[in-house]
Structure 1
Amino acid sequence: MAAAMDASGAQEYDRMQELKAFDETKAGVKGLIDSGLQKIPKIFVRPADELEEELNHKRAQIEVPVIDMGGLDKVDQHKQIVEEVRIASETWGFFQVVNHGIPLNVLDEMLDGILKFNEQDVEEKKKYYTRDNTRRVIFNSNYDLFSSRNASWRDTLTLSFSDPHQNDSKELPALCRKSAVEYSKHVEELGNILLALLSEALGLEPEHLRNMGCAEGHRLTTHYYPECPEPELTLGTAKHSDPGFFTILLQNQINGLQIFFQNQLVDVQPIHGALVINIGDLLQVQIHA
């Protein structure tokens, strides 16, 4: 379909055509960088009012709570950890956990596997490129590419562990298969521990949230943020909240994650070996009920 013309005869921007053209490459944002581009496509440029709003936000020099889970099996420390989880969940909706039981090498190998997947030959990645959300393995750029106000500068690989019958790991990409399976096992265990702590923080029995079905499967959603030639014009992830119960987030050691707290932006400083816990919308309702 031909692009429309304005009164001066200049061709108007055809956003849908550009979105489709980008999606059809199946190469993601990494493909744009590999092509040698120097200016980001307009679909990634954030609106001027959004840029201005971000620049006007205050930056808070405070730190997200860090909770040490090392003494969880001791009665007194267990009570203290539950209380810290309650306060952090109510006040921040975010906290970091250390001494959580997942070996450091498992975390590092997970990050390395995802990096290798994204930086391999594009033809291999294209085998997994899809917008079919029923697939166990989904690789694409921006799940909401055709509905969001502007695209984010990232590529995403999602691996589903939601179906207990999905035991065949051969479906997973070879470069991150072993690390993803191992990480998933540990994260599931930690997720159950956190559900028990959150249940207790709500004044309920430890198994309450699990009995509600909160532990039924999970997805690993991994993001890759290639170098951007015009970083002042776009974001890797736009402002949002997570809709579920909670997210366990593994950061690399590059500072970039921010949360919105008391009308201020707060940097979530990377701690090697720590995991970030983000209380989702559904659990926030329970906490504040």
Structure 2
Amino acid sequence: MAATTTTTTTDVISSYDRIKDIKEFDHTKNGVKGLKDSGITSIPKFFIQPPEILSTLNPPSQTNTSNNIPVIDLENINSQTHRPKVVEQIKEAAREWGFFQVINHEIPISVIDETIQAFISFHEQPGEVKAKYYGRENGSYSSNIDVYHAKAATWHDYLKFWMAPEEQAVKVEDIPEIVRKEAVAWDRFAKKLAEDVMELLCEGIGLETSRFKELSCSGNRLLVGNYYPYCPQPNLTLGLAPHTDAGTITVLISNQVSGLQIKHGEDWVDVKPLPGAVIFNIADLLQIISNGEYNSVQHRVRANSCEEARISITEFFNLSKWKEYGSFGPLPELVSAEKPALYRQFMLDDFLSNIYSKEIDCKSLVNKLKL
């Protein structure tokens, strides 16, 4: 009588070589756009999210659409009558939501549209054209920056450049020509707008208007164009995992394909981008140096179920004067007997080791520095 063999779920899981599959995916240098273009109808196993994430992926019709992040009008921002109102609105949004959209920001709509289209054009080039920019360490184009650390990969590719400080910034001639002019222009516009908003944030908590700028909150800038192509099984993965941003503030523009969600209370709230608006969110370091006056908020991107790709151009602002200051922490002006420091001082090594040793996550540095 022949022996029978029973294959258990445990056997199947133990025989799956996840790292091998990831390396094969990485070696193609085609990202998830390449997977989509190949015509696959099911996603590779290493993209499937764990049960605790899948349980939160309600159908779009069941997500919270009754709320949206605050929309703040920056028109006449320098008028004595209008500015105090804007300061109060931004202060409230940064405390309660951690996210807000600004309109009438003086960035030409044509600049926003051209920047978005340039990054779309890069990602939609043939794979062999993009491949020369691909790399985990030194490349500007890749997929899933944390794919070897994360529990599951997510359905997006990206193109990134360091724009500042000078010693770290990409050489202009090394930016792919298809996005070169637009990336340089967008960095200039985004920096000016971010510094205007930082002035309002300073005023909202009683700081000197230029305090965040003097601290170098806009001195380090990383520009990232995330591309979210159609996913054949959007109920099994994410476009970007839940996380908070590590730096001081983040500036984002996108096309009108939905996907961004923020955690507000217990709900995941869909962010409905307004045409021509610019989205801001508070990042972890600003929460720390503001001594908790402003809050970074967990956010994620749903996997794209639309045939049209979603594109987001995100510029991450960060501190740059580490050598000058040595360490950072809650600003002395915001610490008192009534409101003691909530976080300890930290150094650049604390910050970098927390970013690069793991997958992207939510407030891990904030939590480590809590007193």
TM-score > 0.5 by shorter chain:
yes
With 107-116 and 174-183 compared, the bigger mean Cα shift is at 174-183
Distance 1:44 1:187, change over 3 A: same
Give 3-state SS (helix, strand or coil) of 2:254's partner.
coil
Structure 1 residue 60: Cα displacement: 5.1
Aligned: 1:226 with 2:235: no
Match among 72, 77, 80 for residue 72 of structure 1? 77
Amino acid at match of 1:241: T
* Distance of 1:212 and 1:163 partners within structure 2: 14
Aligned: 1:131 with 2:133: no
Q: What does residue 87 of structure 1 align with?
A: 92
Match among 163, 167, 190 for residue 161 of structure 1? 163
Structure 1 residue 58: Cα displacement: 6.3
Aligned: 1:109 with 2:114: yes
Distance 1:227 1:167, change over 3 A: closer
* Distance of 1:49 and 1:81 partners within structure 2: 39
8 A Cα contact 2:162 2:170, kept in partner: no
Matches within 5 A, 1:226-245: 226-245=229-248
Q: What does residue 3 of structure 1 align with?
A: none
Give 3-state SS (helix, strand or coil) of 2:241's partner.
coil
What TM-score, normalized by structure 1, do the two folds share? 0.92
Q: What does residue 247 of structure 1 align with?
A: 250
Identity, in percent, stands at 38
Aligned: 1:21 with 2:24: yes
Amino acid at match of 1:151: A
* Distance of 1:167 and 1:245 partners within structure 2: 21
8 A Cα contact 2:63 2:268, kept in partner: yes
Distance 1:193 1:272, change over 3 A: same
Match among 274, 298, 315 for residue 271 of structure 1? 274
* Distance of 2:150 and 2:200 partners within structure 1: 35
Runs of at least 5 residues in structure 2 that lack an aligned partner in the other structure: 1-5, 294-341, 343-371
Runs of at least 5 residues in structure 1 that lack an aligned partner in the other structure: 1-5
* Distance of 1:33 and 1:167 partners within structure 2: 30
Q: Which runs of 4+ in 1 moved over 3 A?
A: 6-11, 53-58, 165-168
* Distance of 2:170 and 2:158 partners within structure 1: 23
* Distance of 1:241 and 1:128 partners within structure 2: 27
Amino acid at match of 2:43: I
Structure 1 residue 238: Cα displacement: 1.3
Give 3-state SS (helix, strand or coil) of 1:254's partner.
coil
Aligned: 1:45 with 2:44: no
* Distance of 2:255 and 2:170 partners within structure 1: 28
Give 3-state SS (helix, strand or coil) of 1:272's partner.
coil
* Distance of 2:271 and 2:170 partners within structure 1: 35
Q: What does residue 170 of structure 1 align with?
A: 173
* Distance of 2:171 and 2:160 partners within structure 1: 16
Aligned: 1:206 with 2:194: no
Where relative contact order (Cα < 8 A, 6+ residues apart) is larger, the structure is: 1
8 A Cα contact 2:258 2:271, kept in partner: yes
Structure 1 residue 190: Cα displacement: 0.8
8 A Cα contact 1:60 1:264, kept in partner: no
Amino acid at match of 1:72: I
Aligned: 1:120 with 2:125: yes
Q: What does residue 146 of structure 1 align with?
A: 148
Give 3-state SS (helix, strand or coil) of 1:238's partner.
strand
Q: What does residue 59 of structure 1 align with?
A: 64
Structure 1 residue 79: Cα displacement: 1.1
8 A Cα contact 2:76 2:82, kept in partner: yes
Q: What does residue 184 of structure 2 align with?
A: 181
